[in-house]
Amino acid sequence: MTVVLTAKQIEDLANFAKEDGQPQYTITTATIPELEADDGEVIPEYTGLVAYSGSEEHGVLQLED
C-alpha cells in the first residue's frame, strides 16, 4: 500500500507526535464513529486516513479533511 501525504499532513503529524510523545505511529484508513465529547459537542463520523500510536491512552489524528 502506498500512502501519499501532503506537506500539511506531515506537519500536522509532526505536531501531533511532538504533543502525544509516543515513539512510533501507524498510518492507516479507518472509520471513527460519531461520538459525543465531554463538553456535549457531537463529533461526526470520520472515514479516511488516520495516524495513531499503540497506546490506548493517546489520541488518533485524522489526516484528511
The pTM assigned to this predicted structure is 0.69
Report d(CA 58, CA 46) in Å as an integer.
18
The whole-angstrom separation of Cα 35 and Cα 42 is 6
Query: C-alpha grid cell for residue 24?
Result: 512510533
What is the chain's pLDDT, residue by residue, as a tens digit (65 residues)? Answer: 788 889 999 999 999 888 888 888 889 899 999 999 999 999 999 999 998 887 777 778 888 86
pLDDT for the residue numbered 31: 93
